[in-house]
Amino acid sequence: METATIDPRRDPTRGAEPAVWALVGQTPLIPLESETPKRASGTLFLKAEWMNPGGSVKDRPAREILRAGLAEGFLPTRRLLDASSGNTAVAYAMLGAAAGLGVTVCVPRNASVERFQLLKLYGAEVIESDPLEGSDGAIRLARQLAEASPDRYWYANQYDHPANPESHYRTTGPEIWNDTSGSITHLVAGVGTSGTLMGTGRFLKEMKADIRLIAVEPSEPFHGLEGLKHMATALVPGIYDPSRIDRTIFVETESAEDKVRALAKDQGLFVGWSVGAAVIAAERIIDEAGTGAPGTRPVVVVIAPDGGTRYLSETRRLVPD
């Protein structure tokens, strides 16, 4: 068995967590200006998760999974191992670096250059998986590594770990409820691990049962919406419970790219591809609602997992030469 050196930053006798861990959460809601009079019949907010210290919504579950690994004694004597399309990998690497924890991540080779640069900067061990297999290929590779070296790795498995949705139940849900003063009618989120929608949605439904949970998926198995899964053809996460979802809206990659371009030019918000897809879904909900009486108009909150700066190397998709 490989012996790990216990970093003094992770000395359990000290009790306190690294300071950067405390910065996760409490992200703002940003109202989007309506583009048409019809859309003025509803209110649309972005939950700006790119304002987490690691730059994405995945800081929340990564922190809770790390806490669980420490509490259960798997860390720091082993390296955390997990599969990720990119954002969770960066979150693990950033939070792990602050705590002196070893982090190994399996990431598809076609993840954005920015993600690989951040992982290298934070000192994570990165193992690239087949780009044609997407996040499912990264999952299969992580499983193989965990089985081959159980004394070296603790396989966190964000797709099945209950701390993933629990992190959103404890933080994201209460933040949205408080910041909308309980007026939210719809929560819209893309599904990858599904932890955001499962955990946030569970809290919000407990507060008001008629809040509708809207899942957003790519329209095709092969797509360019990093972080999202086409559930019918993918490895389905263990934490995913379709019975909790009120509706699923499917969005084409090209339409999401158009929306990202429009948000940047019209509202000064440069967001990731999955955010573009979720905004399309949210606008569809508002359009369908029509012009209702005050108090009946939808209040829609979109989880915006990350910002566009994580995709700068891919801006040719938005601004062709």
User: Is 40 found in the same domain as 24?
Assistant: yes
> Which residue among 41, 47, 56, 58 is the active-site one?
58
Which pairs with CB-CB distance under 8 Å and at least 24 residues apart come from 241-248?
241/198, 244/197, 244/198, 244/201, 244/202, 244/205, 244/213, 245/197, 245/201, 245/213, 245/214, 245/215, 246/212, 246/213, 246/214, 247/212, 247/213, 247/214, 247/215, 248/214, 248/215, 248/216, 248/217
Instruction: Say whether 81 sits in a helix, a strand or coil.
Output: strand
User: Is 184 found in the same domain as 67?
Assistant: no
Picking from 120, 155, 190, the residue at the C-terminal end of a domain is 155
Range of the domain at 78: 58-155
Q: What is residue 287's DSSP assignment?
A: H
User: Is 93 found in the same domain as 28?
Assistant: no
- Distance, in Å, from the CA atom of 43 to the CA atom of 34, rounded to the nearest integer, reads 8
The pLDDT, as a whole number, for residue 290 is: 74
In a domain, 7, yes or no: no
In a domain, 8, yes or no: no
Q: Output the domain CATH number for residue 255.
A: 3.40.50.1100
Alpha-carbon separation of residue 291 from 39, 226, 280, 294, 295 (angstroms): 9, 34, 19, 9, 11
The two beta strands, 29-31 and 43-48, are antiparallel
Q: What is residue 306's DSSP assignment?
A: B
- Distance, in Å, from the CA atom of 318 to the CA atom of 117, rounded to the nearest integer, reads 21
Residue 282 — φ and ψ, nearest 5°?
-65, -40
In a domain, 166, yes or no: no
pTM of the model: 0.90
> Which residue among 41, 112, 135, 274 is the active-site one?
274
Q: What is residue 171's DSSP assignment?
A: I
Residue 58 is a catalytic residue: yes
Residue 259 is a catalytic residue: no
The pLDDT, as a whole number, for residue 1 is: 39
Number of domains in the chain: 2
* Low-confidence spans in the chain with pLDDT less than 50: 1-14, 37-38
Closest CA to 193 of 66, 57, 92: 57
Instruction: Please say whether the beta carbons of 276 and 232 come within 8 A.
Output: no
User: Is 149 found in the same domain as 110?
Assistant: yes
- Distance, in Å, from the CA atom of 99 to the CA atom of 89, rounded to the nearest integer, reads 15
User: Is 175 found in the same domain as 296?
Assistant: yes
In a domain, 9, yes or no: no
Q: What is the CA radius of gyration of the chain?
A: 19
The pLDDT, as a whole number, for residue 40 is: 56
The pLDDT, as a whole number, for residue 240 is: 97
In a domain, 113, yes or no: yes
